[in-house]
Structure 1
Amino acid sequence: MNIPNLLTLLRIGLIPVLVLCYYLPYAWAPMAAGAIFAVAAFTDWLDGYLARRWDQSSALGAFLDPVADKLMVSLALVLLVETFAQPWMTIPAMIIIGREIVISALREWMAELGKRASVAVSNIGKIKTALQMVSIFALISFEPFTTMSWAGVAALYAAALLTLWSMILYIKAAWPDLTEEL
């Protein structure tokens, strides 16, 4: 067990804390839930940075990091869909969660072919992730239908567009293998 893996496990452990805090009936609860999400987002960046810098990449970390990421983001989006209860919030959440499922399956399949590098994380994916984290933080932290939450909605839509774009790029990269006759 190393520090990057412990940070990833911390991120997973923060999920129930986020949910609990999100539903607390106190005025400070949204900002506390947002802070928990921000800590989780920061550990997502930090664990990867430390694993590369200290040469502590591991099979456990390679498995857990994307799982922790997808669990935290998906859970937060589900909470937000419930809170806003509007189709315009559900649509970007469906796009983001659906893309994660498609790309996870695509990466797994490409790995079976020994071609996982064909669907490696791109710069667009990194920008998309940053926009997602900022938007979810704003939407969790601030009262719905306020200026800050509308900024979060705008950032969420930008993230959803980048999500679609990056998915198209991943599928395009894998297309020759997807359409190859066996």
Structure 2
Amino acid sequence: MIALRWFQHAVGSSIGTVMVYVFSGLLCALVVTSVAEEIPELAELIHEVRCIIGFPAEGARCISDEIDSLRDLQEETAHKNRELEERLQAQETREEELAALSTKVENFSLFESETLDFGVVTTGVRFGTVLRPEEWSHAWCYTDRTVRGLARRIAVGEQDAGKPIVWHRVSDAELQDADLTRAQLEQAQTACHFPKTP
């Protein structure tokens, strides 16, 4: 029984204390609000405090600042979106131009040459399309030289995409006709620039 009375007294005192604080706080807020209308500095301070605690007054500067900041961000985002749309349109136009060009090109090959002291070694690479130069289909390598006023071409090697290089067998008679040695043929093989395969 004593415990129950003590509990009722403690709860009653706590509720009473809370009510006193709430009533005092409301009374202070009411007084400050009415006085704030007469003292502009106090009104400004109240607006700042309300902004800080997250309950801004209507028309408070923090709201207009936030709105201005959001408008600036919206304009910046719209500008970036327009730039991206323009870039995307330019990219699509370029891809259409390349696709049209690719249909007109039937044999797209690139050549790379290296000059050695006995002749020129050339590597040719054939591609399936202009749009994807990384997708090659066939490569070949040869050496050109002039012997006694006559042009001589020796096929050195070739490679199909995804397969190993196949070096051509060059007979002694072909080497003699082209005035080449086996060592020079090996140099020519080293000078071939076949595409790298994954």
State the TM-score bracket (shorter-chain normalisation). under 0.3
Bigger Rg, which one: 2
Q: Normalization by structure 2: what TM-score?
A: 0.20
* More helix, by proportion: 1
Higher strand share: 2
TM-score, structure 1 as length reference: 0.21
